[in-house]
């Protein structure tokens, strides 16, 4: 399911609030981390892996994580994004359900129209 969420709503106000005290490097790494988190549904807990995702060395990551670590839990989950993911997943599933129902209704309408044409053709013979 995580891979079905190709985009996420970007709340500019929320981004400004979150990043206002970060350096450019911290904000960039944070952006890479939340993009990965959104796409995969979780982050690894290994800081070397987090550094790779953030496109920095492990030493750089250890030095700059103070700028954004407070937005994550100690297990590197992101409570705000979890809520957005949950509502986006529900909206995605609701769209799928509506599309299936519409497809079934359309198929039934075509089938009924075909039966009606057949009855009309037989009646006119």
Q: What angle do CA 38, 28, 24 make, to 5 degrees?
A: 150
What's residue 122's pLDDT? 65
Res 114 pLDDT > 90: no
Q: What average pLDDT does range 70-82 have in this prediction?
A: 94
Between the CA of residue 108 and those of 99, 105, 113, 115, 122, what are the distances in Å? Answer: 14, 5, 8, 10, 21
Higher pLDDT, 108 or 22: 22
Find the DSSP H helices in the chain. Answer: 12-19, 24-40, 47-53, 58-64, 79-123
pTM: 0.69
Handedness of CA 8, 34, 28, 21 (dihedral sign): positive
């Amino acid at each position: 399911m995580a891979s079905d969420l190709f985009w996420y709503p970007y709340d500019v106000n929320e981004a400004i609030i979150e990043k206002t005290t970060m350096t450019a490097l911290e904000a960039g790494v944070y952006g890479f981390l939340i993009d990965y988190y959104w796409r995969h549904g979780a982050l690894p807990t290994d800081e070397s892996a987090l550094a790779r995702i953030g496109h920095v060395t492990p030493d750089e990551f250890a030095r700059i994580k103070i700028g954004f670590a407070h937005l994550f839990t100690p297990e590197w989950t992101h409570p705000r994004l979890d809520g957005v993911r949950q509502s986006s997943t529900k909206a995605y599933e609701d769209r799928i359900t509506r599309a299936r129902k519409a497809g079934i209704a359309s198929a039934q309408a075509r089938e009924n129209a075909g039966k009606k044409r057949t009855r009309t053709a037989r009646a006119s013979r």
